[in-house]
Amino acid sequence: MRLHYLCSLPLALLACSGNAAPPQAAGKPFVENVIANFDSPWAMAILPDGRVLVTEKDGRMLLLMTGTRPNKISATMPVAGIPKTDSAGQGGLMDVVIAPGFAQNRLVYFSGSVAGPSGKGVVLWRGKLVESNQGFRLEDVVELFRANTFVEGNGHYSGRIAFSPDGQYLFFTNGDRQKFTPAQDKGATLGKVLRLTLDGKPAPGNPLAAKGFAPEVWSYGHRNLLGIAFDAQGNLWEQEMGPKGGDEVNLIVAGRNYGWPNASNGSHYDGRDIPDHKAGDGYEPPKVSWNPVISPGGLMIYSGAMFPQWRGDAFIGGLSSKALVRVDLNGTDAAKGDQWDMGARIREVEQAPDGAILVLEDGGDSQGRLIRLSAK
């Protein structure tokens, strides 16, 4: 396991000066400081006190601790009680999000891929974060939901989690598992955005149940959905990887069909054409698409004070593009903004309590560092 370390200052992420910073590229409007280093990290969630939960692909969850002295380096703490996951291919321990009311209920929602008798699929869990003399663990872990079709293969699990602004519902992404047609299959949850209750049941009022769809389905026709977030106006945004070209940012509207695999602004990997999105085809087009691809990772809608010029915009991690990508959001419209070369695959983007931007590298050749971006 790679050494984990943290520059431990008050609230953990408000400032950091104890680790060497990566080279500061000319023209970037932020300063980069390395906070920690992980083995193939996948997601992070920031607790109200500034500590950070991080998942690693191989099935570990870690809690970044704060120290009592400035510049004190402190090892991260493992979190016990995590169910076994299958880490082959694109699988593993995936998203982690704290529940509405976490300060009182201490509930954590998290996702991962598991193997079963009929194949593999994505699962959603919930547990209570407990601290004791023995360390940290998730207690009373329950499985809330699993994809209703398990299939062979190790790709396109998705597994991203977002709560509705009122805290009453949970949105959960299920990828198409590289099987194409399930994204249009009414009975499958694959290739869909799902709306669930906080206990993982189909949410009442889902728009497609009366049309014969699985009762959890909110929207369909998706490929590999690796980011989902609400903006301050309550709009739900999602980003997903296209095939050879055609990465997308979508405004998710209840009941809409987003086209995959019948429409895409990209092509199949073997060169076969896919009809582009066009007016009147019956499919909801993306608000923004990329060709060549950026390979989008996590998605964050910025609301902080440190970078007021970007408030309300979306930030996306770029995997193959090794970039941090900004998308201008304006109501229900979107346009490409900046794309900064980060020199490593960026898996996840989050906002620190003070408005700094946190980016998490993918691991492997990309190191797996957690880097804090602050204003110059």
Q: Which residues are catalytic?
A: 156
Tokens 């950026």 — which residue?
A: 294
In angstroms, rounded to a whole number, what is the distance separating the alpha carbons of residues 303 and 195? 24
In angstroms, rounded to a whole number, what is the distance separating the alpha carbons of residues 3 and 17? 18
In angstroms, rounded to a whole number, what is the distance separating the alpha carbons of residues 249 and 260? 14
The three-state secondary structure class of 261 is coil
Residues 194, 216: contact at Cβ < 8 Å?
yes
Query: Which parts of 231-332 are beta strand (E)?
Result: 236-241, 247-252, 288-290, 296-301, 314-318, 323-330
The tally of CA atoms less than 13 A away on the side-chain side of residue 276 is: 8
In angstroms, rounded to a whole number, what is the distance separating the alpha carbons of residues 78 and 100? 23
**CA angle centred on 54, ends 236 and 294, rounded to 5°:** 50
Q: Which two tokens stand for residue 131?
A: 């601290």
Amino acid symbol at 216: E
Q: Which two tokens stand for residue 358?
A: 């946190």
